[in-house]
Amino acid sequence: MKYGGYTGKILTVDLSSATFGEFPVTDELAEGFLGGRGFAAKILYDELAPGIDPLGPDNKIIMVTGPATGTLVPTASRIGVGCKSPLTGAQSVSYMGGHFGAELKYAGWDGVLISGVAKGPVTLVIDDGAVSLRDASDLWGTDTRTTQELLAATLGRDFKFGAIGPAGENLVSYANFMHVQHAAGRGGIGAVFGSKNLKAVAVRGSGGLTMGTPTGAYIKGCRELHQIIMENPVRDAFRWVGTTGMLPHINEAVGLPYRNHRDDRAPDVSGIHSDEIAKYIKQYEACGGCDVICGSVVEFERRGRSYRSERIEHESVWALGPLCGVTDLPAIMEAGHWCDLLGMDTMSAGAAIAWAMEAQEHGLLSASDTGGLDFSFGNAGVLLEAVEAIASREGFGDVLARGSRGAARHLGRGEDLAMQVKGLDIAAYAPRAFTGMALNYATTSRGADHNKAFTVAAEFLGVLGDYDRYSLEGKPELVKSMQDSAAVIDSLIMCMFTVDLGISVDLYARSSNLPTGMELTAADVYLIGERINTVERLFNIREGFTRDDDRLPPRFAVEPAPSDEGGHTVDVTAVMDEYYAVRGWDARGVPAAPLLDRLGLEHAWSRDA
């Protein structure tokens, strides 16, 4: 192909027949969808038949890099892992950092497309162009860390590894795929690995990449991007203790969901935010090619047991903490540690537990329902018990393994207490306090994903504007533009933190051009992002999603947060027609023919009309 930054091919793996092939990355695919999330959106749309069972043999997994992966562009160490989600039924792509993505590029592949079901547990081994499946029966049942350590001992520590844990093997609907401590979380990709008997992936690469920009200009441009990040004061805050520095500020603003979103302010978070977490840090870690170095290792004790683990982040602290009414930091870190080892999403695990806590409080769950587990708000002791039960699907854990919405539907009660959109649980930024986030939660094709348009940056932090966080005025345009730019960040793939580190839309265009040799502008970034979001929307429509799915739980429109003296609520249906019009969708939320023509998606439209 004519562009740099790509290897020009995606490895195809048929687990049923144990055969391998290549999927070409064409110039047209690169121009239209860039990479990462864009490639995943288009390829999954084309490859997956409508209505398939996410845990059946017809679902496919795509592991995909972006044109910046493995280059000198800062923070571009990430890889996307996508499928049809067993949690939501929508298309879902999760992103993890570390070194796995760059290693895959150096092995000569822009991605891996996995189909079929292996006859028994296997590990996929990619050693440059040599690809094989190895028996993994001895690894089945082991946690994610042990699996990777055993593979390193067998294959060599110059390989990079990713694996599922017992949660993925047992088809927990929000199971993760883990690379060291990095998670391709949310959406249940780990369960799809488990359904295919694919325990792990090992990759080693010895090749290089050709850049589309002359060497001098390429190095100079990348150095300037690094310098922007290094000089931004937010970098020091992230490096020190990650994202938990935000927690007390969001809480003080009455924007931190508490006790399953019944309130938006916890009484006291002084024991669980960054100052406290910093006391446990023993060393710092970085993903490949990143100046921020925001990862760290902590050591702590809980109930007489010593732990060495990855430092917990804002969303995990919140989901296993205030969302459940818990402020015991060692208990939160312990539960987060075991979520990683067992291979499950901390956010959906916390949300499922919080749902059970409110359901018990309302008398919808009895001790016989829960097997004696006490789901009282604030009970830190139940966190680990629930996490272990979920991963093994034992007792009430089998119910919670379905997610908050799935648990409610399985029992036939309590769905109004499931704080989710399209099955994906709402994140740590209260919809009533940040109405742009509310609209993003409601309309993102994946479900309530805060990273698809982090409007808090414009509504609270002053990074991308100065919007009234309680008003819906101007939010349709803001949400659309941020959703479209986020799609390109996820396609390069760069870290979403760069939004806070001074990388503008113009600079995302430059970050695309430096490795590829393209000549994208900021307008092109928005156009590519719009195309990606539209294809994801078309996928959902084909799966039967309608306008009715673009809504928040009723609580937010009718129940103010008790701690909010202003008594604010949010009803995003009031601006849904406006949002659809800004998007070029009709009143049903279906992308209209003029939009599809403008985006060059006529074929997709004609096939589904």
Q: What is the 3-state secondary structure (H, E, C) of 262-285?
A: CECCCCCCCCCCHHHHHCCEEEEE
Co-location of 441 and 413 in the same domain: no
Strand partners, 125: 132, 202
Residues 160, 260, single domain; the answer is no
* Mean pLDDT value across residues 240-248: 86
Is 218 among the domain residues? no
Q: Is the pTM of this model over 0.85?
A: yes
Domain of 47 in residue numbering reads as 9-204
The per-residue pLDDT for range 193-222, each reduced to its tens digit, is 999 999 999 999 999 999 999 999 999 999
pLDDT digits (tens, 9 = 90+) for 65-79: 999 999 999 999 999
463 plus 400 within the same structural domain: no
The C-alpha R_g of the chain, in whole angstroms, comes to 22
Q: Are residues 386 and 470 in the same domain?
A: no
**Residue 365 is assigned to a structural domain of this protein:** yes
Residues 254 and 301 in one domain: yes
For residues 276 and 351, state if they share a domain.
Answer: yes
Domain boundary among 405, 424, 443: 424
Q: Is the pLDDT of residue 589 over 70?
A: yes
Side chain identity, residue 370: T
CATH of the domain at 187: 3.60.9.10
Domain edge (last residue) among 204, 225, 255: 204
| Cα torsion through 309, 310, 314, 318, rounded to 10 | -20
* CATH code for the domain in which residue 527 is found: 1.10.599.10
The DSSP 8-state label assigned to residue 369 in this structure reads H
Kindly indicate the confidence band of residue 605, based on its pLDDT and cuts at 50, 70 and 90: very low
The answer on pLDDT for 311 being more than 50 is yes
d(CA 448, CA 552): 9
Q: 440 and 414, same structural domain?
A: no
Task: Name which of 52-66, 490-504, 559-573 the model is least confident about.
Answer: 490-504
Say yes or no to pLDDT of 458 above 50.
Answer: yes
DSSP 8-state assignment for residue 373: -
Quote the pLDDT of residue 240. Answer: 81
Claim to verify: residue 481 and residue 507 sit in the same structural domain: yes
Mean pLDDT of 2-10: 97
* Any domain includes 318: yes
For residue 11, what are the β-bridge partners? 22, 112
Q: What is the pLDDT of residue 606?
A: 40
The domain tally of the chain equals: 3
Domain end: 369, 389, 424, which one?
Answer: 424
Q: Is residue 235 part of a domain?
A: no
Nearest-CA neighbor of 188 among 121, 90, 324, 312? 90
Locate 372 and state its tokens: 């004696």
**Residue 13 dihedral angles phi and psi, to the nearest 5°:** -130, 120
Position 395 scores a pLDDT of 97
Establish if 513 belongs to a structural domain. Answer: yes
Residues 81 and 25 in one domain: yes
CATH of the domain at 417: 1.10.569.10
3 falls within a domain? no
Per-residue pLDDT at 238: 85
Confidence of residue 603 (pLDDT cuts 50, 70, 90): low
pLDDT band at 607 (very low <50, low <70, confident <90, very high): very low
Q: Are residues 576 and 482 both part of a single domain?
A: yes
Residue among 371, 367, 359 nearest 412 (CA): 359
Question: How high is the pLDDT of residue 464?
Answer: 76
Q: Whole-angstrom Cα distance, residue 87 to residue 191?
A: 9
Instruction: Tell me, yes or no, whether 295 and 370 share the same domain.
Output: yes
Cβ-contact 148, 200 below 8 angstroms: yes
pLDDT at 602: 72
Asked which of 161-165, 295-299, 548-552 is least confident by mean pLDDT, the reply is 295-299
Specify if 362 maps to a domain. yes
- Cis peptide preceding 390, ω within 30 of 0: no
Residue 342 three-state SS: helix
* Structure tokens that stand for 19 in this block: 């055969």
Chain mean pLDDT for the chain: 95
Q: Which stretch of 336-340, 350-354, 456-460 has the lowest confidence by average pLDDT?
A: 456-460
Residue 317 shares a structural domain with residue 408: yes
Mean per-residue pLDDT for 524-535? 97
Residue 223 falls within a domain, yes or no? Answer: no
Kind and range of the H or E run holding 113: strand 111-115
